[in-house]
Amino acid sequence: MSSPQELPDDHEIRDVIIIGAGPCGLAVAARLSEETPSAVFTDEEHQRYHWIKKHSGRMSLVQARHSKINGVRAAKWDSERGCPCQDDRQRRTSTDSASSVPSLSSASSTSSTSSISTLVLDGSGDKWMQRWNNAFRTLEIKQLRSPMFFHVDPGDRDGMLAYTQESGRDADLWEISGCVGKEMSKHKKKKRRQGGKTQTIGGEIDERDRKDYFSPSTELFSDYCSSVIQRYGLDEPGQILQREATDISYNYLSDSSDSKIFTITTSTGEKFYSRSVVLAIGPGGAGVSKIYPWKPSTEQEGAAACCHSTEIKTFPSLNVQKKIQRRQETNVVVVGGGLSSAQIVDMAVRKGVTKVWFLMRSGLKVKHFDISLPWMGKYKNWEKAAFWSADTDEERLEMLQNARNGGSITPRYTKIVKQHAAQNRASIHPCTEIKTHDYNPATQTWTLTTDPPIPDLPAIDYIYFATGVRADVREMPLLRTMNDQYPIEVKAGLPCLTNDLSWRDDVPLFMTGRMASLRLGPGAPNLEGARVGAERVAWGMEEVLHKGREVDGQCEGFCGLGNRYASLLGECDE
């Protein structure tokens, strides 16, 4: 039994505290501010609704429920309730054009009318996407792996494509070749010629969806996220605090109270209080453990000898930089089989490293996306339906493992790495593991042996471990109290959440991203998972916060439920 909370006199209990200011946290914050989410509103409904909002107070809107006998009555539109029942004089003075329909991707499409009080805590900074942007900048990644419909905007599935076209930035799109159209046909022909032994990397994307299968540049995606932040007013001072959350507890307000609140304790000793919490941490976040072939010592780890890819601050390391400046031979090892490892190999060569030794535990897997193509193509709904209708979480876990199947590299970076190998600037070693490792602090070099052996492997100046991360809710210090007070079932470190992504039905701690994989599917750690997860969280949050209104016996708040046209037609008199 949890003990009652002792709150300070100046405490503030917020409705929602979001832990993590990355894509998942941003997707949730934007979704809670969106009145007409694209998941439950059609394009026609969106267009009608936003047209009415833009021209409210200046256009007479006929209430369709009145017959000719009673006379046609016109009224002004109230954007707060979606019905013509209040006088909105402020909107009468709008100078927007009365002739054009607003784009759903533009900042004028919608604004937050939510009364939800929200606070965001993030250990890396007080800005949205700070850790994400720093990581892409450090590794000099110019292109996202995700297609155009993977983003954080809750208002429009094709919002990023519309934003690109409106801002005239088509040059910032990179075609994902080999997925659709003629390229698909070439792969099929190649497969037939070789007797069906070649595994194709394209093959299941409909030609009609070609416009979706471009990936944005990192700058374009960052700018689009900024437009989403601005549209929903999520950049107000004090909304994001740079605080590292260290503990979450959920207790009664007092002995006589029948309601509980969350207390979030930070590394500074500060405490914050809320009615609900969303845990939206990604790779490198609090409580996420990094995977190593072996655990480096404190002396080795960092700038001196090796580091994990999520901890790279400067590239290359200082000792390698000095040797490059003295025109000495340098050798670097990159361990891993995913896209990040290939990007590190490429950047090391471009920065002047003499040779990069690329070691992979498994074979070289080439895939456009980090999940298998059936989950991305025209049959993806079948895959998702099979996942969601599985009888047990053990079945879902097996589907997750098969769909992701370890790290993989895109065709583009596979070509780049092989070009470096052809020029003797890189050496690719699939199915190879480090057998012994010995670090010499005096020379700041490693002596390595591998299985199978690599002939004439020289002394290594630095090792980068691009070997991924592991998140186990039972081992996360942040969730120690929750695990003790409110234990739940866990499969391979993943929590068995409710369908609304809450910890339990009686505990409104919501999780999104990788930790929601057993409910969202293999796309959970991706941008797609951020958007879909935010939708699930919003539905669960509606019931917790009781912010909705009743429309035909159903809740209509920010979850967008009820009659699909209820927000388009008035339900009360002027």
What's the pLDDT tens digit per position in 380-435? 778 888 888 888 999 999 999 888 888 889 989 999 999 999 999 999 999 999 99
CB atoms within 10 A of CB 170: 10
Name the β-bridge partners of 180: 205
In angstroms, the first-to-last Cα distance of the chain is 52
What are the structural domains of the chain?
1-43+112-156+219-288+471-561 (3.50.50.60), 290-370+407-468 (3.50.50.60)
Tell me the mean pLDDT in the region 220-245.
93
Whether 128 has a pLDDT exceeding 90, the answer reads yes
What's the pLDDT tens digit per position in 151-175? 999 988 888 988 998 999 989 988 8
Of 32-41, 73-82, 131-140, 431-440, the one with minimum mean pLDDT is: 73-82
Between 235 and 380, the more confident residue is 235
Buried b (16+ CB within 10 A) or exposed e, 499-538: ebbbbbeebbbbbbbbbbbbbbbbbbbbbbbbbbbbbbbb
Residues ≥6 apart with Cβ < 8 Å to 515: 279, 281, 471, 473, 494, 495, 497, 524
Between 330 and 549, the more confident residue is 330
Quick one: pLDDT at residue 224?
94
Quick one: pLDDT at residue 42?
54
Tell me the mean pLDDT in the region 13-40.
89
Q: Would you place residue 8 in the very low, low, confident or very high pLDDT band (cuts 50, 70, 90)? A: low
Quick one: pLDDT at residue 380?
77
Name the β-bridge partners of 469: 290
Q: In the chain, pLDDT over 70 holds for what percent of residues?
A: 71
Whether 273 has a pLDDT exceeding 90, the answer reads yes
Tokens standing for 444?
């700041």
Whether 81 has a pLDDT exceeding 90, the answer reads no
What's the pLDDT tens digit per position in 491-531? 999 999 999 999 999 999 999 999 999 999 998 988 888 99
Quick one: pLDDT at residue 18?
97
Quick one: pLDDT at residue 481?
95
Q: Would you place residue 116 in the very low, low, confident or very high pLDDT band (cuts 50, 70, 90)? A: confident
Whether 192 has a pLDDT exceeding 60, the answer reads no
